[in-house]
Amino acid sequence: MALTSGKPAPAPGGSMPLMEHLRELRTRLTRGVLAILLGTIAAWIAYEPILDFLTQPYNDIRPLLADRGIETDIVITGIGGAFQFQLKISLVVGILISSPLWLWQIWAFVLPAMHRNEKKWAALLTAAGAPLFVGGAALAYVVLPKAMDVLIGFVPEGFGSLVTGAEYFDFIIRMMLVFGVAAEIPLIVVILNRIGAVSAVQLANARPWTIISIFVFAAVATPTTDPLTMLFLAAPMVVLYLISEVIAKLTDRKRRKIADAGVADDEAAPIDGPAELGGPSDLRD
């Protein structure tokens, strides 16, 4: 006679939840790739206006350089260079314009595993991070003519300057990424304060060194050597850092009020209990 335990036998196909998880991951990845593919196709179709938008900062400085005797132009080298250039631009732009779709696929896969508080912070990070990044990238686009004017301006008078399309596009992407990522720093500071990693007092004490670090970062990150471009990156970062410091101060003040209110409630609570419920006064009687 076989002995049996009180536990139910494991259900066949116990690995099914994991397989369903993997299937969902595959579905999300497929949808994300399809979104990028559709965005790339749309960017390929709209290649001409996109190219005009990207080359506008360069075209703005060409007359200024010509007045100084510097002839410059964007060229494409190689037999397949034009195709590769258009494909690269279309792919990058396709990733950008389809980002709401494939980012949502990532969040839809991750959010069910998060707690309620984590979902709130994830939503806050997404809602605040995207506009900050776009704003930083837009500022880089405004600074681009000045940056290129300085760099190409080193060409000796009488010489020409030929810039390949790939070099030009890489320069634009680098500038926009640097400015976009730099704009996210205050958001990171606020989140660190909200989770209790840093306080407003610590931020205030570290302010001089932080400002110096910001200017050092701006000097290293910007590909130009002029102080004006560095200032265009460092000044907004300093302002945003000061704003985040104010937010941290308000957060700490609210946190202290909540803590003080909790202590006050504990002190006001009757430790011995009321007399009518059989407190020490009844015992004395």
Instruction: Identify the band that residue 59 occupies on the pLDDT scale cut at 50, 70 and 90.
Output: very high
pLDDT of residue 37: 96
pLDDT digits (tens, 9 = 90+) for 17-55: 778 878 888 888 999 999 999 999 999 999 999 999 999
pLDDT of residue 225: 65
Mean pLDDT for 121-150 is 83
Residue 275 has pLDDT above 70, yes or no: no
pLDDT digits (tens, 9 = 90+) for 238-253: 888 888 888 888 888 8
pLDDT of residue 168: 92
Most confident of 16-20, 64-68, 126-130, 278-282: 64-68
Mean pLDDT for 254-268 is 66
Distance, in Å, from the CA atom of 91 to the CA atom of 99, rounded to the nearest integer, reads 12
Residue 124 has pLDDT above 80, yes or no: no
Instruction: Identify the band that residue 280 occupies on the pLDDT scale cut at 50, 70 and 90.
Output: very low
Instruction: Identify the band that residue 262 occupies on the pLDDT scale cut at 50, 70 and 90.
Output: low
Range in 81-90, 98-107, 240-249, 273-282 with the lowest mean pLDDT: 273-282
Distance, in Å, from the CA atom of 285 to the CA atom of 282, rounded to the nearest integer, reads 5
pLDDT of residue 5: 44
**Average pLDDT over all residues of the chain:** 80
pLDDT digits (tens, 9 = 90+) for 183-232: 888 888 888 887 778 888 888 898 899 889 988 888 887 766 667 778 88
pLDDT digits (tens, 9 = 90+) for 136-187: 888 889 988 888 888 888 888 778 888 999 899 988 988 888 888 888 888 8
pLDDT of residue 224: 65
Distance, in Å, from the CA atom of 173 to the CA atom of 192, rounded to the nearest integer, reads 28
Torsion of CA 64, 161, 55, 34, to 10 degrees: -160
Cα 141 from chain centroid (whole Å): 17
Mean pLDDT for 56-77 is 89
Distance, in Å, from the CA atom of 2 to the CA atom of 99, rounded to the nearest integer, reads 60
Higher pLDDT, 283 or 255: 255
Mean pLDDT for 78-96 is 92
